Amino acid sequence: MDHPPFTFPPRTGPRRLSTGGLLCALLSLAAFCACAPSGAGTDGRPTPTSATPKEQDSSMSGTSGQAAVSKDVNELRRLVNLPYEPRSAIWQRRARGSGESGAAPGPTDWSVVCVLELSEEDAARLVADATRQRPAAAKKVKVLEWFPEEVRRRAGDDQMLEGQGFDAGLFYKSPLTNGSLVRVPETNYFVLGLYTM
């Protein structure tokens, strides 16, 4: 049986997708998925548990990007790991980036600054656990106006407090995976500052 040149007999059986066709299909799927906003449900609207950092910061007032100061330990626990139950906690969530320069920190970066008061036993355990990660070193921290009086009165004229600095890794909870922990001298108060990058 003679066939004219460059003509092939008709196919019988299922068609197979070529490598090029498979690549095209995958790229189309990736482009489609990229169109949905981050944290969106299947209908394109944000899901209640997946608010973007911008939406999470909606409670921050004014242009400074600072939220109200809180003493709610349960709310703090949603943001940071608390390996020891604090006797008291006062904290504030703050926006870090301005969004104007494009330089780090970015416009969606944020931080949590808190002062934790621990029991004598938990303070000793925290120091022991933190120094296993890295030895303590002298560290300065800026004292903010909402810090407890016992902490504020230990600050110098420059509103800086020098204490023992420890590894803050015990408190990390994604996306807050950077920061520092400083023990206020002669107290069971610790100043914890965690931030995103």
| DSSP sequence for 136-189 | -EEEEEEPPTTS-HHHHTTS-TTSEEEEEEE--GGG-BTTB-EEEEEEPTTSSE
CB-based burial label for 95 (10 Å; 0-12, 13-18, 19+) = buried
4 within domain boundaries: no
20 within domain boundaries: no
- Are 78 and 165 spatial neighbours (Cβ–Cβ below 8 Å)? no
Q: Please report the pLDDT score of residue 108 as a whole number.
A: 87
Q: Please report the pLDDT score of residue 10 as a whole number.
A: 53
Q: Please report the pLDDT score of residue 31 as a whole number.
A: 44
Domain extent at residue 183: 64-195
Residues β-bridged to residue 113: 92, 193
Q: Please report the pLDDT score of residue 37 as a whole number.
A: 42
For residue 123, report the phi and psi dihedrals to the nearest 5 degrees. Answer: -60, -45
Q: Which of 163, 170, 164, 162 has the alpha carbon at shortest distance from 194?
A: 170
Q: Please report the pLDDT score of residue 64 as a whole number.
A: 54
Please list the rounded mean pLDDT of every run of 10 residues in the chain (197 residues).
Answer: 49 54 47 42 38 36 67 97 98 78 72 98 97 94 97 95 96 96 97 95
DSSP 84: S
58 within domain boundaries: no
Domains contained in the chain, number: 1
Q: How far is Cα of residue 195 from the mean position of the Cα atoms in its chain?
A: 6
Compute the distance between CA of residue 180 and CA of residue 160 in angstroms, rounded to an integer: 15
Compute the distance between CA of residue 175 and CA of residue 103 in angstroms, rounded to an integer: 19
Please report how many Cα atoms fall inside a 13 Å half-sphere around the Cα of residue 178, on the Cβ side. Answer: 7
pTM value > 0.75: no
2 within domain boundaries: no
15 within domain boundaries: no
180 within domain boundaries: yes
Q: Please report the pLDDT score of residue 166 as a whole number.
A: 97
29 within domain boundaries: no
27 within domain boundaries: no
- Are 139 and 162 spatial neighbours (Cβ–Cβ below 8 Å)? yes
